[in-house]
Amino acid sequence: MREDDFSALFRATSRDILAFLLRRCPIAEDAADCLAETYLVAWEKRRQMPNEPDTRPWLFGVARNVMRRGREREHRATEATRDLAREVLASGAVAPAPAIADTDPVVTALAELPELDREIVTMICWDGLTPREVGKALHCSANVVRVRAHRARARLRALLAAAAEADAEPDLRQAGSPSAAG
């Protein structure tokens, strides 16, 4: 692949790859770093890069792997920090910050799905990839993607319906208490 062709590929795909990374990285700077590394890997492997129409899903797969490796690197790098934090907490010198609950029912329901199913659903719904493209990015067949997406959507519907039902039910314990009547 010539440099001009690679530049054209970058212009044609970088916005989609960046959007994909922004939705998965905790901060925008991490997404930008992953984007740069994705295209560095693509440049280094340009002779092995698949031809169209497989180039775009291949880049999504590269981006996903770059992001995963970055998380693994970060995890290994923070082990000492976590150990130190545990020691400080055990000493009683500081109190931990309260956990902030994510109350968005869709995000909560997505978190309930297995990682691969969550990845398939978000790649199809948020990133606009076809099941064939998702399959290429995740190294599985389009049929596997379709089946898992169907099951994941059914599970999401059930989780969201249960959450809506739970929100709609009045708290009977409070309704029957003496302070509620007063």
Q: Residues 126-153: what's their mean pLDDT?
A: 94
> Does pLDDT of 180 surpass 70?
no
Q: What is the residue extent of each domain of the chain?
A: 1-71, 99-169
For the segment(s) 1-71, the CATH number from 1.10.1740, 3.40.50, 3.30.70, 1.10.3470 is 1.10.1740
Query: Could you tell me which residue, 100 or 104, shows the higher pLDDT?
Result: 104
> Does pLDDT of 102 surpass 60?
no
pLDDT at res. 100: 40
pLDDT at res. 164: 85
Q: Residues 30-48: what's their mean pLDDT?
A: 94
The share of the chain scoring above pLDDT 70, in percent, equals 86
| Residue 20 CB coordination number (10 Å) | 26
pLDDT at res. 170: 63
Reported CATH class of domain 99-169 = mainly alpha
Q: Tokens for 106?
A: 């869709």
- The residue type found at 70 is G
pLDDT at res. 166: 81
> Does pLDDT of 160 surpass 70?
yes
Instruction: Kindly list the distances between the CA atom of residue 26 and the CA atoms of 45, 51, 161, 174, in Å, as whole numbers in the listed order.
Output: 27, 32, 28, 39
Query: Could you tell me which residue, 163 or 45, shows the higher pLDDT?
Result: 45
Q: Residues 106-113: what's their mean pLDDT?
A: 88
Least confident of 3-12, 32-41, 90-99, 109-118: 90-99
pLDDT at res. 84: 73
3-state secondary structure the chain: CCHHHHHHHHHHHHHHHHHHHHCCCCCHHHHHHHHHHHHHHHHHCCCCCCCCCCHHHHHHHHHHHHHHHHHHHHHHHCHHHHHHHHHHHHHCCCCCCCCCCCCCHHHHHHHHCCHHHHHHHHHHHCCCCCHHHHHHHHCCCHHHHHHHHHHHHHHHHHHHHHHHHHHHCCCHHHHCCHHHHC
Dmax (CA) of the chain: 79
List pLDDT tens digits, range 82-99.
777 777 777 765 555 444
Residues shown for the chain: 182
